[in-house]
């Protein structure tokens, strides 16, 4: 092994190793490509997060509407969302309401509405007796309610929606 010549005082010059210009350029190209990919995926991730939050809020709204209807007397309109009484449902009832950010509701579409809620209430006799030979007389029969929450409320054909079918039984 050849040794480096010393500088006259018995000390050797330290040898510095460095990256070549080509290695630096290649490393910068790899890093910039990775950053471009990450920055390009960021809007997709943010939109996915926003969609998930809106869907969760719509599901929470449906659960609140169902809880309000269950907490109200069967023969009275629900207290918060003013859903119709369920004791004398003889034909299909349909309705639409709009929900603002502060959970206030209205039947007229305001510019500030976040969600549109459409509901259909079906009498149990027409649904069950035709399909399953459910007894027409006897104990109280359940009433079916289909709830659909869509957003944004201003669009006639909303881009996103959540739908749930539930039953209510007279207590």
The Cα–Cα gap between 73 and 92 comes to 20
C-alpha gyration radius of the chain: 33
Provide the number of structural domains found in the chain.
Answer: 1
- Does residue 7 form part of some domain? no
144 within 8 A of 124, measured Cβ to Cβ? yes
- Does residue 10 form part of some domain? no
- Does residue 11 form part of some domain? no
- Does residue 85 form part of some domain? yes
- Does residue 112 form part of some domain? yes
114 within 8 A of 99, measured Cβ to Cβ? yes
- Does residue 130 form part of some domain? yes
What pLDDT sits at residue 9?
65
Grouping H, G, I as helix, E, B as strand and the rest as coil, residue 126 is helix
Q: Which residues pair with 165 in a beta bridge?
A: 146
Start-to-end CA span in the chain (Å): 98
Q: Is the pLDDT of residue 61 over 60?
A: yes
Report the percentage of the chain scoring pLDDT > 90: 43
- Does residue 94 form part of some domain? yes
- Does residue 27 form part of some domain? no
Host domain of residue 135:
32-168
Other CB atoms closer than 10 Å to residue 95's CB: what's the count? 13
pLDDT tens digits for 105-156?
Answer: 777 777 788 889 999 998 866 555 555 555 555 566 788 999 999 988 877 7
Closest CA to 55 of 138, 142, 151, 132: 151
Report the percentage of the chain scoring pLDDT > 70: 82
DSSP state of 75: T
> What is the H or E stretch that residue 44 is in?
helix 21-71
């Amino acid at each position: 092994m050849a040794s480096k010549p010393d500088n006259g005082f018995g000390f050797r010059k330290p040898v510095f190793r460095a990256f070549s210009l080509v290695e630096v350029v290649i490393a910068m190209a790899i890093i910039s490509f990775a950053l471009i990919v990450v920055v390009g995926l960021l809007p997709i991730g943010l939109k996915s997060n926003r969609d998930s939050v809106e869907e969760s809020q719509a599901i929470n709204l449906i659960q609140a509407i169902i809880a309000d209807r269950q907490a109200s007397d069967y023969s009275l309109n629900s207290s918060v969302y003013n859903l119709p009484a369920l004791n004398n449902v003889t034909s299909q009832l349909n309705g639409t309401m709009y929900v603002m950010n502060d959970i206030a509701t209205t039947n007229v579409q305001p510019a500030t509405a976040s969600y549109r809620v459409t509901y259909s209430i079906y009498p149990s006799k027409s649904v069950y007796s035709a399909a399953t030979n459910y007894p027409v007389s006897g104990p109280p029969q359940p009433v079916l309610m289909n709830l659909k929450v869509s957003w944004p409320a201003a669009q006639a054909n909303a881009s996103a929606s959540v739908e749930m079918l539930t039953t209510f039984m007279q207590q």
